[in-house]
Amino acid sequence: MLIEAIIAACLLSAAVVFVSPDRYAHKLALGLSVPPLALSLYAYAAFEGSGNALLGGEIAYETFTEWLRFGPYAVNYHVGLDGISLPLVVLSTVLTTLALLSAWTPIDERQSEFYGLVLFLEGSLVGVFAALDFVLWFVFWEAVLIPMYLLIGVWGGPRRKYAAIKFFVYTNIASLVMFIGYFGLVFGLGDAISSTGMPEVAQALRAGQLGSLGTSAAAIPADALAMGAFLAMFVGFAVKVPIVPFHTWLPDAHVEAPTPVSVLLAGVLLKMGTYALLRFNFTMLPEQAAILAVPIAAIAVVSIIYGAMLALAQQDLKRVVAYSSVSSMGYVILGLIAYTVYGVGGATFQMIAHGLISGLLFMTVGVFYNATHTRMIGDMSGLAGRMPVTATVFVAGAFAYMGLPLMAGFMAELFVFLGAFGSTVLPAAPVFTAAAMFGIVIVAGYLLWAMQRSLFGPFRLETDYELARAPAHDIVPIVTLLALVIALGVAPDIFFEMIRDATLDVVAFDFGGESP
């Protein structure tokens, strides 16, 4: 019942904060976020699962209860964790607590509602990563949209309504497309399954039990059904990631969202898409992924380079970090399509590393904005001399993004490149890997340019505000995140050992007689 305790703690905390007075809401929310964080850390410390939760592995903290039926299919309350989902649950609780603390300065109105929505969002995120029945998973998946829409639309910037509506429309339509794809597989499996459970569907698909869909006169053949479902789910999840060309909602959402919301959006919500791609597309339908290996790898490389080029062209520091997320998620896609232990494991590790690093950079940009009231790179200069701690953390976070050794970003990219280079599923794997590695050069270019313009040189702040020292509640979260980024870079097996164990079954598939 540990997973239920984490989710219940988040939802009950949200309800308590909702009805609390505004003047106490920020401290109350921070205090109430500690129990879910502590429970997730306990789950990590006591973890004894092995293998992959969808492919017959030993599931940790599992709960299985009959819920309802529709026709021949049972919908069950089924939750549990493995080495892929547990690190993402820990990431969610860590970033939520730190985001709540970082919100103390920028959020000064309707605080009870804001902090309550963040805690509700946390509970929904944990549910997404823990659910093992598709219908239950989909409930949590859609529940995430509600607080995020409100957090952007109510507390965001001048164009907040446009950004919130664009986010909601894009992701909601994508969810519908993905939903259709999955249930096409469920109906195609027919009597081979008796529930909508993700493990049952995954194992039946990998056993080759998918049949045709429809009447004999107009039936969709099994191969066409599998490919259609793969494409539908891929598009649905690609919007959430997002990868090119489905990325256009992301910069608007990031720029208009308050900084603590940007931290959760980049740090955790984008990982919902990559996590779902791994669980559904690359675990359930490996043959279809292998057939589409070249176009998927091409999309990954285009996302890496195009996202980095877009970041290079930005003048808003927050928009720079937003576009860098598009580039970073390309590495995840490249690692997944490699179908090697280091490729898929590195992609999962990149989810964690990027969650910490992007959260770190968004928080430091928020600290700069709280002090200067501007995010425009051209309006800032010489901030390192006036805000040395924040500037130092920002520089360290930027180097982590560039892949500096002994930091989490380096290990994530190293795993992905090693896995992708040695792929036997992806034709011309070394070529795609080399092209992706070139993206690091562009990343270094835009981050060094942004740092040079905003942090160094003579002090020049073209606003009417007096620069003030950042308070402790702004500094503590960014220093904590930097420490975690370094810790994962120095000791990646904090998470990578359990991740690798859970990916072995994913890549253990006979792709035409060749082993990945």
The DSSP H or E segment spanning 62 is strand 60-70
Is residue 176 situated within a structural domain?
no
What is the number of other CB atoms lying within 10 angstroms of the CB of residue 114? 27
Is residue 406 situated within a structural domain?
yes
Tell me: the pLDDT tens digits for 306-329?
998 988 888 888 889 888 888 899
Q: Per-residue pLDDT for 372 more than 90?
A: no
Which residues, at least 6 apart from 283, have a Cβ–Cβ distance to it below 8 Å?
A: 52, 54, 55, 202, 506
Give residue 465's pLDDT band: very low, low, confident or very high (50, 70, 90): low
Task: Report the predicted TM-score, pTM, of the whole model to 2 decimal places.
Answer: 0.95
Position of tokens 């896995």?
A: 419
The torsion angles phi and psi of 50, rounded to 5 degrees, stand at -150, 150
What integer pLDDT is reported at residue 460 of this predicted model?
67
Is residue 447 situated within a structural domain?
yes
Is residue 329 situated within a structural domain?
yes
Q: Per-residue pLDDT for 513 more than 70?
A: no
Is residue 347 situated within a structural domain?
yes
Instruction: Give 86's Cβ-side CA count (13 Å radius).
Output: 33
Helix axes of 496-507 and 85-102: crossing angle, nearest 10 degrees: 140
Question: How many domains does the chain divide into?
Answer: 1
DSSP calls for 91-125:
HHHHHHHHHHHHTTTT--SSHHHHHHHHHHHHHHH
Q: Write the secondary structure of 69-98 as one string of H (helix), E (strand) and C (coil).
A: EECCEEEEEEEEECCCHHHHHHHHHHHHHH
CA distances, 61 to each of 79, 130, 428, 439, 447 (Å): 8, 10, 41, 40, 41
Tell me: the pLDDT tens digits for 170-179?
999 999 999 9
Q: Is 422 left (phi over 0), alpha (psi -120 to 50) or beta?
A: alpha
Tell me: the pLDDT tens digits for 436-451?
999 888 988 888 888 8
Q: Residue 496: give the domain boundaries.
A: 293-516
Angle 329-232-177 (CA atoms, 0-180°, nearest 5)? 100
What integer pLDDT is reported at residue 314 of this predicted model?
87
214-218, 236-240, 277-281, 334-338: which range is least confident on average? Answer: 214-218
Is residue 348 situated within a structural domain?
yes
- Exposure b/e, 472-510, CB count within 10 A at least 16 = b: eebbebbbbbbebbbebbeebebbbebbbbbbbbbbebe
- Using omega within 30 degrees of 0 as the cis cutoff, is the peptide bond preceding 221 cis? no
Q: Is 175 left (phi over 0), alpha (psi -120 to 50) or beta?
A: alpha
Specify whether the CB–CB gap between 70 and 43 falls below 8 A.
Answer: no
What is the number of other CB atoms lying within 10 angstroms of the CB of residue 145? 17
Q: Per-residue pLDDT for 516 more than 70?
A: no
Give residue 4's pLDDT band: very low, low, confident or very high (50, 70, 90): very high
Amino acid found at 367: V
Average the pLDDT over 89-104 and give the result: 96
